[in-house]
Amino acid sequence: MRLAEKRDTKKVAHFFRELDPDLNLNELSNLIREKRVFVLRDRKKTLGAFSFAKIGFGIFAILYIRKLVVGKKFRGRGLGGRVLKKLGGFTRRKKARGFFLWSRRPAENFYRKNKLKNWWRIFWKRVD
């Protein structure tokens, strides 16, 4: 997992379009420039990506995972679960109390299996 760079824009856009077919490339470029997008890599392959926003400050800070996508070819290998575990440490480094995300219906069981709590289709994890 590493910070996305300008050269990753095309690949990240490909992954994010699975969730948002009307993805705005200017908005994505801004997120990459603001260091709010990470890519999931294995050697030379990009396997997926996620973007986030920090909401609040101090003891009230929390991370909103805007998009989290593992490429279709790479699903079912435990990569998503490893990313969620790394998000715990990432959240702490960003000095936030936890993270949350909005799930699409097909991914709900995946988040439950990885022990995220939920209310309807909103999933979260506290990382004190």
pLDDT tens figures, 85-106:
889 899 999 999 999 999 888 8
The upper half-sphere exposure of residue 64, i.e. CA atoms within 13 Å in the direction of its Cβ, equals 9
State which amino acid sits at residue 37. V
- Separation of CA 11 from chain center: 15
pLDDT for 8 equals 94
Confidence (pTM) = 0.86
DSSP state of 3: E
| 128, pLDDT greater than 80 | no
50 vs 43, higher pLDDT: 50
Total count of residues recorded for the chain? 128
- Which residue segments constitute the domains of the chain, with CATH numbers given? 2-126 (3.40.630.30)
- Separation of CA 78 from chain center: 15
